[in-house]
């Protein structure tokens, strides 16, 4: 019997046994980081493509002219980007509530985790609702994949000094990239909301309380923070530059 035990111990300590987890990170969390890194490359390639077209063009739609209206109203704001500023605040605030959910999970505070997860889900839905309003407004203005407003109206959205001949081309490039990139990001937000709802159901069912760990909340939190961070870059490229 002692011989068998010593053989098992020998197998466990052999160099081929795998050793300690790299960086002392749980396997699922490490895989989440790998996924986020690969997703970052995808967003980076899209934003680089937008930047290359934007800065190689002789004229480009001006953000303070395209985004000066408040979707769903007849308000033409003298301070542009008010609506998208509200969108950004909502998403950042949802990231804060996710941090609080993770922190409550570390204390095994089930009720607090549930409430902060609910707040995060609400924030995600509010952001998606704002994005739907913005898309609907731009579509009513004539912007969509492969289409732009009539030339007379299109000229109102461009910076001074551009050539009329280029308005159609650059306007369409802007529309295609805007709806593709913000749509791709919106898909990530929607996916995050769905996952958060699933995690919330598990929290309420006491799944993680029984396990003695709310590590899944932390993993989903990493994804949600990534989505928020990507929006900062999307916001900068489309609305500020």
- List, for residues 173-226, the tens digit of each pLDDT value: 999 999 999 999 999 999 999 999 999 999 999 999 898 889 999 999 999 999
In this structure, is residue 81 part of a structural domain?
yes
Is residue 18 within 8 Å of 204, Cβ to Cβ?
Answer: no
Residue burial 197-231, b: 16+ Cβ < 10 Å; e: rest: bebbebbeeeebbeeeebbbbbbbbbbbbbbbebb
In this structure, is residue 46 part of a structural domain?
no
Q: pTM for the whole thing?
A: 0.85
- Given a cut of 70, whether residue 21 has pLDDT beyond it is no
Q: For the domain that residue 226 is a member of, what is the CATH number?
A: 1.20.120.80
pLDDT class for 119, splitting at 50, 70, 90?
A: very high
In this structure, is residue 21 part of a structural domain?
no
* Phi/psi at 61 (5° precision): -55, 135
Task: Please give the tally of structural domains in the chain.
Answer: 1
In this structure, is residue 76 part of a structural domain?
yes
- Given a cut of 80, whether residue 63 has pLDDT beyond it is yes
Measured CA to CA, the distance from residue 185 to residue 200 in angstroms comes to 22
Task: Provide the residue range defining the domain that includes 155.
Answer: 66-240
pLDDT class for 16, splitting at 50, 70, 90?
A: low
In this structure, is residue 45 part of a structural domain?
no
In this structure, is residue 37 part of a structural domain?
no
């Amino acid at each position: 019997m002692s011989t068998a035990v010593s053989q098992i111990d020998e197998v466990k300590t052999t160099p081929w046994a795998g050793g300690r987890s790299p960086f002392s990170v749980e396997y699922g969390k490490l895989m989440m980081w790998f996924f986020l890194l690969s997703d970052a490359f995808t967003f980076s390639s899209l934003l680089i493509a937008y930047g290359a077209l934007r800065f190689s063009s002789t004229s480009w739609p001006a953000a303070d002219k395209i985004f000066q209206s408040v979707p769903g109203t007849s308000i033409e704001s003298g301070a542009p980007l008010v609506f998208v500023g509200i969108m950004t605040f909502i998403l950042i605030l949802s990231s804060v509530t996710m941090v609080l959910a993770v922190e409550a999970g570390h204390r095994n505070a089930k009720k607090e985790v549930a409430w902060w997860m609910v707040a995060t889900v609400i924030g995600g839905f509010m952001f998606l609702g704002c994005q739907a309003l913005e898309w609907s407004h731009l579509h009513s203005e004539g912007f969509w994949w492969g289409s732009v407003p009539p030339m007379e109206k299109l000229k109102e959205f461009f910076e001074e000094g551009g050539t009329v001949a280029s308005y159609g081309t650059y306007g369409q490039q802007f529309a295609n990239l805007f709806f593709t990139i913000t749509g791709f990001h919106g898909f990530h937000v929607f996916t995050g909301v769905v996952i958060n709802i699933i995690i919330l159901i598990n929290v309420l069912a006491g799944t993680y309380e029984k396990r003695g760990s709310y590590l899944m909340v932390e993993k989903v939190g990493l994804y949600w923070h990534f989505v928020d961070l990507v929006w900062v870059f999307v916001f900068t490229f489309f609305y500020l530059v």
